[in-house]
Structure 1
Amino acid sequence: MQSPEVFDTDKRKLLSALSHGSIFFSGLIISVAIPIAILLVSDDPVVKDNAKEAINFHFNVWLYGLILIPLSFITFGLAGGVWWLVHWGFTIWAVAHSLSKPDQPFRYPFIFRLI
């Protein structure tokens, strides 16, 4: 009988938080490369799930940004400001979750999942 594989909790926390935290650099298209790289090099299933979720969140931030930035001109910045608070709030929530519950992948609410 095989014993279950044990993963380093500190490494799991770091890589999961880094995957989600990369959205703080979302102004740079390269920010999505961080969770993609983590997805490709990690063998930890929780880290892989967090990296996939972070990649999906990047795509959603960009999509909603494309929609809400033009609306910001009509709403005097309100639409873009609300989205900025929401996406940063979700990111902080995801990083906190990754650090406090390292054995459970984080799932963003209200997003489309392509991966």
Structure 2
Amino acid sequence: MYDADQRKLLSALSHGSIFFSAALVSIGIPIAIFLVSSDPVVKENAKEAINFHFNVWLYGIIVLVLSFISFGLLGLFLGPVYFLFHWGLAILAIYQNLTSPDTAYRYPFIFRPL
């Protein structure tokens, strides 16, 4: 059916692309994987990674605005929570994809517009 190693690699690359940068370049990798791959699990992981990128940007803007309004006081608390959310969930997604490649990872606490 589908190659398990390729499934692991492409799924982990989709979720790990957020480590390359938080800019538009990093979202291009899961979009390309979504368009090129025929594996349904890889497509689902790529779609979930795209949704996670959008949520990271949205939450980052919210933290930035709240920090600006509170003269940085809320940023002292929300900044580390934001980075824990950003990095921690991406690492967890990569780990889940490498240990159980037959199921797509679903991020908690995100909106799914796609």
TM over 0.5: yes
SS at match of 1:77: helix
Q: Where does residue 7 of structure 2 map in the other structure?
A: 12
Runs (4+) of structure 1 moved beyond 6 Å?
none
Cα distance in structure 2, aligned partners of 1:15 and 1:109:
21
Q: Deviations over 1:38-90 (max 9, x none)?
A: 00000000000000000000000000000012333232522112110111110
CA RMSD of aligned residues (A): 1.1
Cα distance in structure 2, aligned partners of 1:27 and 1:43:
26
Q: Deviations over 1:11-61 (max 9, x none)?
A: 000000000001113422210000000000000000000000000000000
Q: Where does residue 24 of structure 1 map in the other structure?
A: 19
Find out whether 1:89 has 2:88 as its counterpart: yes
Percent of aligned positions that are identical: 62
Equivalences for residues 17-96 of structure 1 within 5 A = 17-72=12-67, 73-96=72-95
Instruction: Note the residue ranges of structure 2 that are not aligned, 5 or more in a row.
Output: none
Asked if the contact 1:26–1:58 (Cα under 8 Å) also holds between the matched residues in 2, the reply is: no
Between the two proteins, the alignment pairs up a number of residues equal to 110
Instruction: Note the residue ranges of structure 1 that are not aligned, 5 or more in a row.
Output: 1-5
Cα distance in structure 1, aligned partners of 2:109 and 2:81:
15
